[in-house]
Structure 1
Amino acid sequence: MIQQQHDIFTREDVELLISSFYNKVRHDERLAPHFANVDWAHHTPVITDFWCLILLGEQSYKGNPLSKHLHLELKNDDFERWLSLFKMTIDEHFHGGKATEAKERADAIASVFRFKMSIFR
């Protein structure tokens, strides 16, 4: 049965996006090694809060996402794979303005991370 897609409207939508995305990351040959030691039970709600702030305006996220990633030895190809999986996950579940915004915001965040991580290394 084909599920009808809708836009990203609720926290539950963001939870679906993030859990589906990180399921892909955990099984991806390129990205999984970078995240092998992540406590997913802790990380998933934090990242859900982050994306709820970005997409829904919820004020639940408190933190600095860049500082949490500085220790990772991510290369440009890793960022491209991350973006590819994230956008693929959005397209699998959602369609609409917020879905498009999520992809645009992911591009912008990845650009900032790449730049700043190159400075701090």
Structure 2
Amino acid sequence: MTDIQTREDLHLLMSEFYLKLLADSEISFIFIKVAKIDLAPHLLELVDFWEQILFDTGNYKKNVLQIHMDLNQKTKLSSAHFAIWLNYFNTTIDENFAGQVAENMKTRALSIATVMKIKM
């Protein structure tokens, strides 16, 4: 396996990740019924976000914490939701990539999730 290197790698990763999330009834309702995401543009925003975090591209301009705080006002994002999200996230990375960027992405995801849980 190769490491995460390109925007295309991130798009593949996010697509595979969301297949898992949207198939899990314990968490899928948040995306489908509460946030009502339009998957194609949502995936592009996620790619922008992770490209910014991992490769410092400058493409992502939104406040990810505020987006999730607003979502938490609509439905409580529990520790269980974060655990499910992180499990699928890490599993999807491990199934598709290996290397320093992949490991950094998992570390950053844990850090982001931890901060969000504390703020909520």
TM-score normalized by the length of structure 2: 0.90
CA distance in 2, matches of 1:61, 1:48: 9
Report whether the alignment pairs 1:54 with 2:53: yes
Count of paired positions: 113
The residue number in structure 1 matching 2:39 is: 40
Q: Secondary structure at the match of 1:6?
A: coil
Q: How far does residue 41 in structure 1 lie from its aligned partner after superposition?
A: 2.0
Q: Aligned partner of 1:12: which letter?
A: E
State percent identity of aligned pairs: 42
CA distance in 2, matches of 1:101, 1:27: 26
CA distance in 2, matches of 1:56, 1:10: 9
RMSD of aligned C-alpha atoms? 0.9
CA distance in 2, matches of 1:107, 1:80: 10
The residue number in structure 1 matching 2:10 is: 14
Report whether the alignment pairs 1:90 with 2:90: no
Q: Secondary structure at the match of 1:31?
A: helix
The residue number in structure 2 matching 1:110 is: 113
CA distance in 2, matches of 1:82, 1:42: 20
TM-score normalized by the length of structure 1: 0.89
Could you list the runs of 5+ residues in structure 2 that have no partner in the other structure?
A: none
**Which runs of 4 or more aligned residues in structure 1 lie more than 4 Å from their structure 2 counterparts after TM superposition?**
none
The residue number in structure 1 matching 2:22 is: 26
CA distance in 1, matches of 2:41, 2:68: 15
Q: Aligned partner of 1:79: which letter?
A: F
| Bigger helix fraction | 2
Could you list the runs of 5+ residues in structure 1 that have no partner in the other structure?
A: none
